[in-house]
Amino acid sequence: MRFACVALLLATTLPAVAQETTARIRSARPFGYFVGDLIRARVDVSAPAGATLSRASLPHPGPLTGSLDLRDVSLRESSGEGQRLWRLELTYQNFYVALDARDIEIPGFEISITTATGAETVKVPAWSVGVSPLREIAPKKQERAEDYLRPDGSTAFIDEAAPRNLAIGAGGAALLALALVARDRAWPPFRRRKTRVFSALANEFSRWRVESGGHDFGEAIQSVHRALDTANGGSLLSGDISDFLRKHPEFAPLRADLERFFAASQRRFFGGQASDGDFQAAQLAQFVRALAKQERSA
């Protein structure tokens, strides 16, 4: 019977202990604060489920002491495991000018909570943090007044020769590249390059697909005549081949092909029996590429 009474007493006491209202303080760090630093702390208050907190009882931002201000207060609520939890985030600012390392007190406060048994006051106790001075109280005695000042830091020597030489080299390379582009494009002051009519015609033949019969063969022959007239500076007939080669000796290796081309052209446009030596589409394209190659070598 005695043991049964003790067990009954414990059963009625444990829930009351579990439902006790508590407050715990946690700070970001307990020491190492200087004048002007912000001191952040967190207060966790737990109470039985269904309890309510009076927000009017929370601390209000403002001066607390002559050297300590409360800057900000934020509250978060949560519930779980039959308890009600409030988390206070407090931000203080220290204005105490310490002459040595010491602790300063953060004042405590009270908050009001209403539970099923009635209203009660929860005390958050005062706590302390360590502050440090910005300088020593008295510096070590020196013989000369200027010895109390720290010497100026040494200036690192920078050799400007390497960056200057690098800049000059880069500038010279850029000018050389510009000159090469100007020469290729025939920009002033370089001599304007003659129009490469046969190179342009060879590109047109590639687009027209002359070799595969993708363009009218007669029109292709006429385009070769127009290119030869342009290169000659006037109409070029079969009897003018010798004069043309004297003015443009770079085409001399193609004399036989020129004569063959004019002969084939005359038979095609002015009548006559076709010859086995007449140009076909692929041979005409090859002849134009040969003209373009000789033109580039000039």
- HEC profile of the chain: CHHHHHHHHHHHHHHHHHCCCEEEEEECCCCCECCCCEEEEEEEEEEECCCEECHHHCCCCEEEECCEEEEEEEEEEEEECCEEEEEEEEEEEECCCCCCCEEEEECCEEEEEEECCEEEEEEECCEEEEECCCCCCCCCCCCCHHHHCCCCCCCCCCCCHHHHHHHHHHHHHHHHHHHHHHHHHCCCCCCCCCCCHHHHHHHHHHHHCHHHCCCCHHHHHHHHHHHHHHHHCCCCCHHHHHHHHHHCHHHHHHHHHHHHHHHHHHHHHHCCCCCCCCCCHHHHHHHHHHHHHHHHHC
146-176 confidence digits (pLDDT tens)? 777 777 777 777 788 888 899 999 999 999 9
Q: Using pLDDT thresholds of 50, 70 and 90, give the confidence band for residue 277.
A: low
57-92 confidence digits (pLDDT tens)? 999 999 999 999 999 999 999 888 788 899 999 999
pLDDT at 16 over 70: no
> Is the same domain home to 32 and 123?
yes
pLDDT at 276: 53
Whether residue 220 contacts residue 202, with contact meaning beta carbons closer than 8 Å, is answered with no
Domain count, the chain: 2
Q: How many angstroms separate the CA atoms of 268 and 225, rounded?
A: 13
End residue of a domain, out of 131, 147, 171: 131
End residue of a domain, out of 131, 157, 180: 131
Q: Would you say residue 281 lies in a domain?
A: yes
Burial class (CB within 10 angstroms; exposed 0-12, middle 13-18, buried 19+) of 110? exposed
Q: Would you say residue 95 lies in a domain?
A: yes
pTM over 0.85: no
Q: Using pLDDT thresholds of 50, 70 and 90, give the confidence band for residue 186.
A: low
> Is the same domain home to 127 and 201?
no
Q: How many angstroms separate the CA atoms of 60 and 70, rounded?
A: 8
Domain with 79 in it: 19-131
Q: Would you say residue 14 lies in a domain?
A: no
Q: Would you say residue 64 lies in a domain?
A: yes
End residue of a domain, out of 112, 131, 150: 131
Q: What is the mean pLDDT of the chain?
A: 82
pLDDT at 185: 67
> Is the same domain home to 110 and 206?
no
Beta pairing class for 68-80 and 83-94: antiparallel
> Is the same domain home to 208 and 125?
no
Which among 51, 114, 98 is positioned nearest to 77, based on CA atoms?
Answer: 51
pLDDT at 238 over 80: yes
Q: Would you say residue 56 lies in a domain?
A: yes
Q: Would you say residue 149 lies in a domain?
A: no
Among the residue ranges 81-90, 223-232, 233-242, 273-282, the one predicted with the least confidence is 273-282
Q: Which residues of 146-177 are buried (b: 16+ CB within 10 A; e: fewer)?
A: eeeeeeeeeeeeeeeeeeeeeeeeeeeeeeee
pLDDT at 19 over 60: no
Q: Cα torsion at 97, 123, 55, 44 (round to 10°)?
A: 80
> Is the same domain home to 201 and 289?
yes
Q: Would you say residue 4 lies in a domain?
A: no
Higher model confidence: residue 54 or residue 7? 54
> Is the same domain home to 124 and 202?
no
Q: Would you say residue 113 lies in a domain?
A: yes
CATH number of the domain within which 83 lies? 2.60.40
pLDDT at 10: 37
210-229 confidence digits (pLDDT tens)? 665 556 778 888 888 899 99
pLDDT at 15: 42
pLDDT at 14 over 50: no
Per-residue pLDDT averaged across 104-126, rounded?
91
